[in-house]
Amino acid sequence: MIGKLGLIIKREYLAKVRNRSFIVMTILSPLLIVGMIVLIAYLTKINDNEKRVISILNESAFFHQEFKPTEQISYIHLDGIDLEEAKDSINSMGYYGLLYLPYGKDAETVAKSAYLYTKDNPNTQMTQHLEGIIQRRLRQGRLEKLGVSQDQFSQVEQPFEINLATFDGEKSVKGINEIKAFIGGGFGYAIMMFIIIYGGFVMRSVIEEKTSRIIEVIISSVKPFQLMLGKIIGTSLAGITQFTIWLISASLLLFLAVMLFGIDLGSMANNTNMPPGAMNEMSQLATMDSEMMTYAREILDIPWGLLIVSFFIYFVLGYLIYSSIYAAIGAAVDNETDTQQFIFPIILPLMLAIYVGFFSVFSNPHGPIAVGFSLFPLTSPIVMLMRLPGGIGEGGVPLWQLLVSIGLLIITFLGIVSLAAKIYRVGILMYGKKPTYKELIKWLRY
C-alpha cells in the first residue's frame, strides 16, 4: 500500500515538475520579482534625487535665518523684484514654488499674510515642512515676549521620547511588536500563497483525471483516498521544490542586483515612514546606537526554533486541510469554470486571516480577536504564526493557546480530510452534473 502511494506521489511530482508552464514559472518568477524590486528601488532613487527648489521673496524683516536647505529642499532668496515678477520668473525657471513673505511690522503679521505659490497643488510634506519652520519661529517669538530667552527656548524644544521597558525590567523599543508580527506574518503569508497556488494545482490535476477519464482505471487499482493523498503530497513536494528554487535564485539575483546597481534596499523602507521634523532628531546618534542594539537583540530573541517548528506544523496541517478541500472541489466539478462558486468560500478565511493578522495582531498580538482567530482552525495557521514571534509563556502566547490551536487544527484536519475524501470518492465518478452544495451534502452520506 505504501509502495503504491509512493508511486502516485512520484508520478504526480514528475507530472508537475515536467510541465512546461511550471518550468517557465519557476524560472521566470524570480526574474520578475527581482526585476520589480530593482525597478521600484531605481524609481524611488530617482524620485529621492529630485531636489525641490523653493524661492523665497522675503520683504519682511523676519525669517531670514530660518530656511536652511535640507536633503529634499533648497532655497533661493530673491531680492529687489516685486511679487508678479517673481511669480513669472519662478514659473519659467521651473522651480517648485515661491514662498512670499510680505512686509509686516512683526513676525505674526508677516506669517499671517504669507503665501506659498506653486504650479500645482503642493505636496503635503513640503507644506508641513515650511509650516513647521514658520511655526517654530512664531512660537519662539511669542515665548520671547513672555520673557523666555533663545537659549531657554532651545532647551524647552528638546524632543522627548518615553522610555520603554517590559515588566521584567528589560528595555524595550518602539515598533518591536510590529516587527515581530511582520516576521510571523511573513511565514503566514507564505502559507497562504502556498495554499492558494498549490491547492489550485491539486484541484486542476483532479479535474484533469476526471476529464481524461483515467480516474476509473486508477481507482480500480488504488483506493480513492490513496490517490487523493498521493496527489496532494506529490503536488506539494513539487511546490516545495519550486519555492526552494525561487528562494535561492531570488536571493542570488537580488544579491547580484544590489552589487551591480548599488541599490540601498534599506533606504527604501526608511524613507517612507520618516515623520516630518524627524531630521532634527538625528543628532542623538548615541541613543540610536543602543536602540539598534535593542532591536537586534529583540530579533535574535525571537524564538526562531519554536517559530520554525510551529511553521512546519501549521504549514503541513493547514496545507493538508485546504488542499483536500481543493481536491474535493476538483472531484465535484467537470471543468474549471464550475469551480468558482466553491473556491470563494475557501479563500475567504485565508484572506480574513491575513487582514485580521495585519490589522489586529500587529497592534495587539494577544487581544481577544488575535486569540480567537489563532484558535479557529481555518485561520490559525496564519494568525498564530504572527503571534508566535513573541514567544510562548509570559509576554507571549500562553502555552495552552498554542496547544489548543494545534489540537483543534488536528481534529479539523481529520474531519475535513475524511469529508473531502467522501466527496472526492463519489465526485470522481460523477459526470455531467453541475453540483450544488445540497448535492455535495448528499454525497457525504453515500
Count of other CB atoms within 10 angstroms of residue 144: 13
What is the end-to-end Cα distance of the chain in Å, rounded?
25
CB of 199 to another protein, least distance (A): 21
CB of 5 to another protein, least distance (A): 10
C-beta closer to another protein: residue 101 or 331:
331
How many residues of this chain interact with another protein, rule: CB under 8 A? 25
Contact status: 190 vs another protein (CB under 8 A): no
Contact status: 11 vs another protein (CB under 8 A): yes
Contact status: 221 vs another protein (CB under 8 A): yes
Query: How deeply is 328 buried, as exposed, middle or buried, from its count of CB atoms within 10 A (0-12, 13-18, 19+)?
Result: buried
Q: Is 79 helix (H, G, I), strand (E, B) or coil?
A: coil
Distance of CA 214 to the CA centre of its chain: 42
| b/e burial code for range 145-171 (CB count within 10 A of at least 16 → b) | eeeeeeeeeeeeeeeeeeeeeeeeeee
Using the contact rule CB under 8 A, the part of the chain among 25-33, 67-75, 182-190, 220-228 near another protein is 220-228
Alpha-carbon Rg of the chain, whole angstroms? 31
Contact status: 208 vs another protein (CB under 8 A): yes
Contact status: 145 vs another protein (CB under 8 A): no
Using the contact rule CB under 8 A, the part of the chain among 208-216, 312-320, 346-354, 415-423 near another protein is 208-216
Q: Is 58 helix (H, G, I), strand (E, B) or coil?
A: strand
Among 51, 174, 433, 442, binds another protein (CB under 8 A): 442
The residue behind cell 494568525 is 383
Contact status: 167 vs another protein (CB under 8 A): no
Question: What are the beta bridge partners of residue 56?
Answer: 77, 99
CB of 45 to another protein, least distance (A): 45
Using the contact rule CB under 8 A, the part of the chain among 8-16, 243-251, 254-262, 364-372 near another protein is 8-16
Contact status: 19 vs another protein (CB under 8 A): yes
C-beta closer to another protein: residue 139 or 223:
223
Separation CA 276–CA 388 (nearest Å): 33
Count of other CB atoms within 10 angstroms of residue 265: 12
Among 216, 255, 335, 344, binds another protein (CB under 8 A): 216
Contact status: 250 vs another protein (CB under 8 A): no
Separation CA 353–CA 355 (nearest Å): 6
Contact status: 218 vs another protein (CB under 8 A): yes
DSSP state letters, 291-309: HHHHHHHHHHHS-HHHHHH
Contact status: 4 vs another protein (CB under 8 A): yes
Separation CA 399–CA 393 (nearest Å): 6
Contact status: 279 vs another protein (CB under 8 A): no
C-beta closer to another protein: residue 1 or 162:
1
The residue behind cell 466539478 is 333
C-beta closer to another protein: residue 7 or 33:
7
350 within 8 A of 195, measured Cβ to Cβ: yes
Contact status: 334 vs another protein (CB under 8 A): no
Q: Cell digits for 175?
A: 515598533
C-beta closer to another protein: residue 200 or 224:
224
Contact status: 139 vs another protein (CB under 8 A): no
Using the contact rule CB under 8 A, the part of the chain among 185-193, 205-213, 295-303, 400-408 near another protein is 205-213
Site for another protein in 410-429 (CB under 8 A): 429
Question: What are the beta bridge partners of residue 101?
Answer: 58
C-beta closer to another protein: residue 13 or 100:
13
Of the candidates 328, 350, 321, the residue with the CA atom closest to the CA atom of residue 415 = 321
Contact status: 220 vs another protein (CB under 8 A): yes
* Contacting residues toward another protein, per CB under 8 A: 4, 7-8, 11, 15, 19, 208-209, 212-214, 216-224, 429, 431, 442, 445-446
